[in-house]
Amino acid sequence: MKKMILAVSVLLAVVFPIDLKIGVWDPSEKSPFFIDEKDGPDPYKNYRSNYKRITGFEYSGLHWNQGVVVYINKHVDAYWENYKLYIEQLEEEDRSRKFNFKKYPVGTILVKENFNLGKGTQKVPISPQTATVMVKREVGYDKEGNDWEYVRFNTKGKVLLDGNSKDPAVKRSCYDCHRNVESRDYVFSTFYKNPTKAE
């Protein structure tokens, strides 16, 4: 019996450390998504340490009940302003008040890591699912969609979807939902964690 318990514990120890590590956001920790190894025009290289992590590990009801973490390469001020205004807008009773949300400059990249969560109330990330990315392209890239490109990667860094509002698959899978926050330049900016205080 002892032997069996030992065998099971060893087995669990082999299986679980990989899962538990996913919840640790030490910047030196290797991303489980491998998009930073992707050759291409977009500098995702080492995004976990080179970008700013602007959220904690958040539970996302809309994003298919996954656990999410968002990073931005620059212009964190725009995200911060829009987050603050979004909270004000939620609490504002005067419906006629206009909110001046910021637009993101060309070259802004947002990376979102999406994790499947374990069952129960603990909401522990058990496995990486996809990395979803928005890139602010040059003016004229997609006038209707404020020049955002949407990309979805699997964990191995393979591109599953890439394009803008003119691409029917991207429109259906990304744009049609993000257009709900057109006033916030298509970025939900739902969560924010002061990056200087990010643990």
d(C-alpha 7, C-alpha 2), whole Å: 9
Residue type, 122: Q
Give residues with Cβ within 8 angstroms of 169, minimum separation 6: 161, 163
- Minimum CB distance to ligand HEC smaller for 8 or for 160: 160
Amino acid 115 reads F
Q: How far is the CB of 16 from ligand HEC (least distance, A)?
A: 26
CA distance 151 to 134: 6
Decide whether 10 or 160 has the Cβ nearer to ligand HEC.
160
Nearest to 108 by CA among 140, 72, 143, 141: 72
CB closer to ligand HEC, 6 vs 150:
150
Interacting residue ranges for ligand HEC, rule: CB under 6 A: 60, 62-63, 68, 70, 110, 112, 132-134, 150-152, 161, 173-174, 177-178, 187-190
47 neighbors 31 (Cβ within 8 angstroms)? yes
Minimum separation from the CB atom of position 26 to ligand HEC (A): 21
Closer Cβ to ligand HEC, 53 or 112, answer by number: 112
C-alpha to C-alpha distance for 161 and 131, rounded to whole angstroms: 11
